[in-house]
Chains A and B, each alone.
Chain A
Amino acid sequence: MQPFMETNHSGFDEHRVIHSLKHYLPAQAPLKDFVHHNTLHSFQDRPFFDAIRSASQVFGYKVALALDEYRAMYSSGQISPVVLKKVIVGHKGEARLESWLEKLLQKPYPATGTPRIGSLRSTWKKQYHIDLDSLVHPLLFRILCSYLDQGIAIWGFPVTNRTFLDALREMERHSFTSFFRTRRARRLLLDGTPSISELLALLVGDEALYETYLFDGQFAHQGWSGMVSAIEDGPQTLLDRRQLSLHDLITFELLLEIDALDAHFGTQWQPLSQKLAHKPTDLFANAPVTERDEVLMMWQEAFEWSYYDQVLAGIQQNKLARKQTLGKSFQALFCIDDREESMRRYLEQLDPRCETFGTPGFFGVEFFFQPETGKFYEKVCPAPVTPKYLIKEQGRTTKKQKDVHFNKHAHSFYSGWLISQTLGFWSALRLFLNIFRPTMSPSMASSFRHMDGAARLTIEHKHQHAPENDLQVGFTVPEMADRVEGVLKSIGLVKNFASLVYVVGHGSSTINNPHYAAYDCGACSGRSGSANARVLCYMANHPQVRVLLHERGIDIPDDTQFVGALHDTTRDEIAFFDDQALQVGNREFHQLNRQTFAEALDLNAKERSRRFESIDSSLTPEQIHDKVKIRSVSLFEPRPELNHATNALCIVGRRAMTKGLFLDRRALMNSYNYAIDPDGHYLLNILKAATPVCGGINLEYFFSRMDNQKLGAGTKLPHNVMGLIGVANGIDGDLRPGLPSQMIEVHDPLRLLMIVEHYPDVVLATIQKIPAVYEWYSNNWINLVAVHPETRALYVFKAGDFVDYYPLTDHLDAVADVEPLVESNGENFPVFILS
C-alpha cells in the first residue's frame, strides 16, 4: 500500500479550525436553559435546499422525509396534485412536467453513499484493527460529565476552580493512580501543555489531514462537544461555573487516544497518514445535485404549499371580520405561542365582545428575575437580549417542598441501609398512588412556582436601590412608559380600551421531564411568563406612566385596569395576579370574565385531548379537563402536552385577518396594525424578535422530526440524566441534543410560513434593514407572504422580491361548531372556515 503524502496544503491553524468546529457543533445549552434554535444554524448562510443537501452529505443527516412518506401523503390527498404540478412547473417548466411527475410519483431512488464525516478516522479500525471510540469515549465522557456535574454526584469533582486541563494535571500530579494507562500520554500532559498540532503530529502525521481528523473526532460525539462549546461561549449557563473550552476537550481526547494506542501497540506505531489508502474527500467540498435531491426538494415544497395554500385561501375567504361596534368586555394579551391560538379562539367564541392580542410572551419587558432567597438570577426575555434590569421578589409566602427520594443519603452506606428499610416501603405506597391516583408532587416542574403571586416585586426603580451586579433594580417611570408604549403600539392597542386588560403569560407544569424548559415560554428564555405579565401590568397601571403615555397619544381611561395572569398550557389552568387591587366595578366584571376563562380552558383542554390516545375526546370538556390535569402529574406520561408540535405558521397582523379560521393550533400569532405603523418601525421590532424565535422553534421541530436519531434526541424512554445538563442513553452514551421523539412524532415538518399584513414594499424594506433577519427569508429558511391590508391580495417573497400569489384552493369547508370536529379524529386538520 502506498502511504499517502501531501504537503501542498497551507499550514494548520488551530484557532481557525476550533472556530470552525464551534460553528458546526450543536449549540444547545444545558437543560435548564433549553431554548429552541435552528438545529442547522451553521448552514443558514446558504439557500435552504443547498444547505440541507450539504449538511446531509457531510454529516449524514436525514433532511427530508422518505419518498414513500411523500407519496403516501399524495395518495391520501394531503399533498395536493394541483400544487405538486405547480411546483414542478415552477422548477422544470411546463414542457418537462410529465416526465418529472413520473419521476416523483414512480421512480425508485435508493438512498446511497455514506456521509463524509468519520471516514478518515475509521482508518484506525480498518487498518489498525483498533476501536479507538470504545477505548476512549466512555472514560472521556465520564470525566467530562463529572467535571461539569451540577449536583448529581455526592462527591463532586475535586478540582473545579481551574481549567479542565489544569484540574486534570493537578489530580494526575497528586495521585497514586492515573486516568492514563501508559506513561507517554501522562508525561505529555504533566510536562507543560502540548499543543494540538503536536499531538496531531503523533497521531495523524500529515498536516493536511489535521482539520478533517478533528472534525471526525468531535463529530463522533457531537453531543458532548456541542455542550462544551456552548458552555465555553456562555459560562453563565451553569449555576456552578466551570472553565471549560473545546480546546481543552480536544487536547485531552487526543492524549487519551495516544494512550489507548500506546497501550495496544507500545509506543512504536505509525501515524494514521502512513497507512491511509487514499486521500479523504474535503469535508465541505461541493457535491453535485442529484436527481434524487431535486425530487425530494419538489416533494417538500409541494407538501408545504399544499398547506400554505389553504391558509392563504382562508385569509382571503373568511368573512367573520365584522366591525365591532359593541363595547368591549375585556381585552387580553397572550403570548405569540401557537398553543394560545385555540385559547384565544375559545375566548372570542364564548364572549364575542372580548378582544385578544398576541405578542412575544415577555411582553416587552426585559429583565433578570430573582425569586426570594434565590442565589441566582433568571433571565426572562428572549435569549439574544441581555437585560440591564433586575426585578426581585419579596415576601414569598409559599414554602418550597422537598422530596426525600432525591435525598442523596439514600446512596450512602449506613444511611442507605436505614433508608432502604424505611423509606423503601413509603416509596412502594407513593408509586402505587401515583399510578392509580396521580397528584402534584414536589418533584414536578411547576409553572406556578416560578413566582409567588402574593409576593411583592421591585418593579419601580427607587433611588435607594443600589445597582446589583451592574443591574439596575427596577425600571424608572420613563423606562416603564417606553416599554408599555412599545408593546401597545406594536400590537395596535392604542384606543378603545376595555375596562379590564389581561396580560396572560404562559408556562408549563410537567413531571419526569428533563426537557421542561422547552415547554415554558421561549420568549422568556424557557421560563414561565408570570413575572413579566405582572410587571407589564404594574407599569401600565402606574399613574405617572399613564401621564407619559397620554403625552405620546395613548389614552388609557382611568377605569381601565391591567391584570396579570399565567396560563399553564399543560394543565390548562389560569392564575390571576393582584386582582384584589381591582376597583369595585371592575371586580364584578372580573368575576364574569373568570368564568369565561374557565370555560375556555375546559374547551381548550378538550381540543388538545384529540391528540391524546389515553383520553376519550367525546367526553364533556370538564371531564376531559380533569383528565388533562391528571396527565400532567402522571409519572408515566411521556407526553404531558405536545408543546409546539405541528407549528407551521406565524401570522403578523390584525386578528380580523384570521378570526374566522380554524387553524388547529398551528399558528404563532403576533398582533399588529399596519395603520398605526405606516413606515414599519414597529414591524421591524416584531420581526426582529419573531423571526429568530419562531424560526428557531419551527426548524428545531423540523429537523428533529426529519432525523430524530441524529438531529433529535431519539425516544426519551431510556434517557438518563447526565450531570443535570443533558440527557444520554444508558450510562456511556453521548449527550442527545434536540427534541425527543415523543415531542415531534405528530409534527408535520413544514418550514414556517410568515404572513405579514402590510404593503409588500414596506415589508420588503423592513426585512432588509437587518441582514441577520433578511438572511432567514432570502435563503428561504422561512417562507414569507405579505397580505395587502386593504385588498387582502397576496404576495409571496421569492428571490429577493415579492410576486403575486393566487391561491389554488377555491373552496374551504365551513364548520359551525368546533366540538364535533375535535371529537372526530386525532390527525392534522385542513383549514376550516368558522361560520
Chain B
Amino acid sequence: MASLLPFFVLLPLAGYVVSLLVPARRETLISQIAVLTVGLHLLGAVLFMGVWLLDGHPTLDVKEIVLLQTSGYEFFVDFDFDTVTAVYLFVGAFLTFLITRYSRAYMHREAGYKRFFNTILFFYVGYTLTILSGNLETLFVGWEILGISSFLLIAFYRDRYLPVKNAVKVFSLYRIGDVGLILAMWMSHHLWHQNTTFLQLRNYELVHEHLQSHTLIGVFISVMILLSAAVKSAQLPFSSWLPRAMEGPTPSSAIFYGSLSVHLGVFLLLRTYPFWEQQVSVRVLIGTVGLCSALVATGIARVQSSVKSQIAYASIAQIGLMFIEIAAGWGHLALFHFAGNAFLRTYQLLVSPSVVSYQIREQFYHFSPHPQSIERFYPKKIAYTFYMLCLKEWNLDSFMYRFLWNPLKAVGRRLDFLTLNRVLLFFVPIYGLGLLLLVNEDALAPDLVHALPMVFSLMGLLMVLKAFTERKKARKSWVLILMNHFFVALAISFNEHFRFEQTLLYLSGIVVAGILGYVVLTRLKTLETSIDLGRFHGHAYKHRLLAFLFLLCCLGVSGFPITPTFVGEDLIFTHIHENQLALAFFTALSFIVDGLALIRIYARVFLGPHVRSVFDMAYRSS
C-alpha cells in the first residue's frame, strides 16, 4: 500500500507538466486538465484513505529514490503517511478541487488564465510533496516549491506595483523560513550522523537516547523548525506578510493564504512533534509564540476595516491557538481545528465581496450610532493606545525592515567601492590563490586551514550583500551572486578533504544557470537599453519568453530542485561541523541574501508596470 504514495505526488506533477504544454488560448482545456488532475487526486485520496482506515490506519513509510550516496551521506526521497498526512491530504484535495472548479468560470477572459492554473497545479505539487514527505530533505523540496508558487501567485498581476512589491516581501520572509529548515537539516545530520526519516523520529527510545547527550543541539533543531513554522504560518513576529499576500485573484488568496499554505507551519510542528515532545522548554516556547500571536492578531483583526485583512488576521489568531494545542500535546484537536479553520476561511474569503450588500442591509435595519465593542470598558488612554497599535499592526511590517533588511542594506551600501572591474581584479586572483592553497592544503598550518573557510565565506557574503544592494547594473549583481557561490564552495572545501565531485555537483547547476542568465540579461539589455535595478521595468510585458527563462535561471542559481545544485547545497552544509556555528551562520545568511538578490533582479527587471507603456498601466498606488 505504501508503494502507492508516490502517485499522490506524481499525479499533480504530471498534470502540471501537461498544463504547461497547452497553448494559452485554450481556456477550457487548461481548466479541464486542472480540474481533472485534482479531481482524480481527490478520488484517489478518498479511496486510499478508505482502505487505509479499514487497514487500521497504520503509519506508512516508503524510501523512494536515493539521489546521492557518499560515505556518511545519503540523500533520498522518502514518503510517509499517517493521520496528520491523511487529514492534510483530504482537506487539501477537497479545497483545491473546489477552487479549481470555482476558478474555471471565475478566471474566464483574465489575462494569465493559463499562468493561474499552472501555478495552482505547481502549488499543489509542492503541497502534496510536503505533506507526504518522510524526511526533512523531501519536505524541503516541497517547501521550496510552495515558496516559489506563492511568489508567482502574489505577483499574478505582475504589471502592477503593489503585487510585485508584496510578492518580493513575502518571498524574503519565506527565505528566512527556508534557512531555518536548512539549519535544522544541518544540525540533525550531525545529531543522527545520517539523514533521518520522520519514521525514526517516532521511535521514542532512539530520539531520547540521542537527545540526552546533545540537549543543546536538540533545542537548536527545534527552534529552527519553529522558526520555519512560524514564518509559514504567519506567527509573531512575521505575521504582517499574510494580509499583504492577498494580491492575487480571490480564490487563490482563499486557498493559499486562507487555508492550505498558511497551515503548513502547523503541519511542520505536528510532523516533528515526536522530536521535541520531550523538550519542555521548546514546548513552552511554541506555546508562547502561539499565545502571543493569537492575542496580538486578534487585536489587529478587530480593528481591520477591509474584509480580507480581517479574515487574514483572524486566521492567524486561530493558528496561534493551534500552536498552543500542539504544544500542549493535543495533536488531534489541532488537526480538527485546522480542517475547520481552513474550510471556514476559504469560504469567508470567497464570499467576501458579498459583504457590502449584506452589511449595508444589516446596517440599514439595525443601525445604532455608537456601536459598542468590549473595548468600551477600557480606560480611554489604554483604549486609544491599543487601538492605534493594532491599526499600525504593532509595527510588525516595519519590524523586518528595521532589524533585518535595513542593516543588511546598510552594510551593502558601504561596499559601493566594489565596481565590477575591481571585483574581477581583486577577487579573481584571491580566488586563484584560494584554489592554490586548497590544492596544497596539507602543507598549510592547521590554524590557517581552520581560519580560511571563515575568510572565504565572509568574502562570499560580501559579494552577495553587494549584489543585493546594487542599484544600477543587473548583470553586475548577477555576476556577484555567482561569485558568492564559488566562494562558498571554496570555503567549504577547506573544511574537509577536498572532494572534487561534490563541489562539481554543487557548482554544475550554478554555472549552467549562471551563464544562461547572463546571456538573457545581455540580450534584454541590447533590446531595451535600460535594465538598471533602481526601478521596476516590467519587461515581462513584452518579453515573456526571456522572463520565463530568467526565472528558471534564478531558480537554478538559488538551488531550487531543478538542478543538481539543490542536492549540493544540502551536501555543502553537511560539511560544516557542528561547532562551526559562525560558518554555518555566514553560509546560511549568504543563502538568504542570495535568494533575495536573485528575486530582486527578476522582479526589478521583469515585473512591475512596464516602463514604456505609461498609458496602459495602473497607478502605482492601486
Contact = CB atoms under 8 A, between A and B. Distances in A.
B26 interface: no
A171 B618 CA distance: 35
Interface in B298-337: 298, 301-311, 313-314, 317-318, 321, 336-337
B336 A732 contact: no
Nearest to B104: A636
Interface stretch (B142-150, B341-349, B502-510): B341-349
Interface in B519-544: none
Contacts of A728: 306, 622
Contacts of B375: 155, 158
Contact of A720 (B308, B314, B336, B361): B308
Contact of A62 (B305, B359, B391, B615): B615
Contacts of B619: 220-222, 709-710, 734
Query: In the complex, which of the residues B101, B102, B619 has the most CB atoms of chain A within 10 Å of its own CB atom?
Result: B619
A410 B110 CA distance: 32
Nearest to A142: B391
What is the interface of chain A mostly: helix, strand, loop, or mixed? loop
A172 to B, nearest CB: 9
Contacts of B295: 413
A345 interface: no
Contacts of B83: none
A177 B385 CA distance: 6
A171 B102 CA distance: 44
B614 interface: yes
B182 to A, nearest CB: 30
Interface in B253-303: 253, 294-295, 298, 301-303
A702 B226 CA distance: 54
A430 interface: yes
Interface stretch (B12-20, B159-167, B425-433): B159-167
Interface size, B (range): 35 or more
Interface residues of A, number: 112
Given A146-B305, A176-B381, A376-B364, A435 B357 contact: no
A177 B389 contact: yes
Nearest to B295: A413
Given A156-B373, A175-B384, A417-B318, A721 B304 contact: no
Nearest to A135: B398
Nearest to A147: B305
Interface in B101-132: 101-110
Contact of A427 (B107, B243, B343, B352): B343
Contacts of A729: 157, 160, 162-163, 247, 622
Contact of B306 (A143, A417, A637, A721): A721
A239 interface: yes
Nearest to A146: B305
A724 interface: yes
A165 B358 CA distance: 31
Nearest to A179: B388
Contact of A443 (B308, B357, B364): B357
Given A405-B348, A431-B346, A636 B166 contact: no
A412 B352 contact: no
A413 B356 contact: no
A146 to B, nearest CB: 5
Interface string B345-378: 1111011111111111111111101010111000
B614 A736 contact: no
Contact of A32 (B98, B294, B356): B356
A420 B367 CA distance: 27
B615 to A, nearest CB: 5
A220 B620 CA distance: 8
B173 interface: no
Contacts of A442: 358
B355 A221 contact: no
A405 B614 contact: no
B364 A375 contact: yes
Nearest to A512: B353
Nearest to A220: B621
B359 A724 contact: yes
A411 B345 CA distance: 10
B311 A411 contact: yes
Contact of B360 (A150, A613, A717, A718): A150
A599 B545 CA distance: 52
A449 B390 CA distance: 37
Contact of A137 (B103, B157, B160, B621): B621
A156 B613 CA distance: 41
B340 interface: yes
A453 interface: no
Given A428-B347, A512-B353, A731-B244, A114 B614 contact: yes
Interface string A165-177: 0000001001111
Contact of A375 (B163, B345, B367): B367
Interface in A133-189: 133-134, 137-139, 142-143, 145-146, 148-158, 171, 174-179
Interface string A715-754: 1111111111000111111101000001001000000000
B383 interface: yes
A731 B301 CA distance: 13
Given A406-B358, A714-B622, A720 B352 contact: yes
A513 B361 contact: no
A145 B305 contact: yes
A376 B368 CA distance: 11
B8 interface: no
B250 interface: yes
A86 to B, nearest CB: 29
B357 A718 contact: no
A373 interface: yes
B249 interface: yes
A613 B104 CA distance: 11
B355 to A, nearest CB: 5
B541 to A, nearest CB: 13
A111 B166 CA distance: 30
Given A142-B391, A431-B98, A152 B306 contact: yes
A722 B306 contact: yes
A240 interface: yes
Contacts of A425: 339-340, 343
Contacts of B336: 421
A516 interface: yes
Interface string B595-619: 0000000000000000001111111
A403 interface: yes
Contacts of A143: 391
A669 interface: no
Given A62-B615, A731-B243, A152 B391 contact: no
Given A177-B385, A376-B367, A635 B249 contact: no
Contacts of A152: 304-307, 310, 355, 359
B343 to A, nearest CB: 4
A638 interface: yes
Pick the most buried of B307, B354, B371, B388: most chain A CB atoms within 10 A of its CB.
Answer: B354
A374 interface: yes
Interface of A: 31-32, 56, 60-62, 111, 114-115, 133-134, 137-139, 142-143, 145-146, 148-158, 171, 174-179, 220-223, 239-240, 371, 373-376, 400, 403, 405-406, 410-413, 416-417, 419-425, 427-428, 430-432, 435, 442-445, 449, 511-514, 516, 613-614, 634-639, 707, 709-710, 714-724, 728-734, 736, 742, 745
Given A31-B360, A423-B340, 12 more contacts: A31-B356, A62-B616, A150-B359, A151-B362, A177-B392, A400-B365, A412-B302, A427-B343, A443-B358, A444-B354, A445-B354, A714-B618
16 contacts: A145-B306, A151-B362, A152-B307, A375-B366, A411-B302, A412-B298, A431-B98, A431-B346, A435-B98, A512-B351, A512-B353, A614-B108, A636-B350, A717-B107, A718-B156, A722-B306
Q: 10 shortest A-B CB distances, which residue pairs?
A: A424-B340, A445-B357, A427-B347, A411-B314, A424-B344, A149-B305, A717-B249, A428-B343, A709-B618, A443-B354
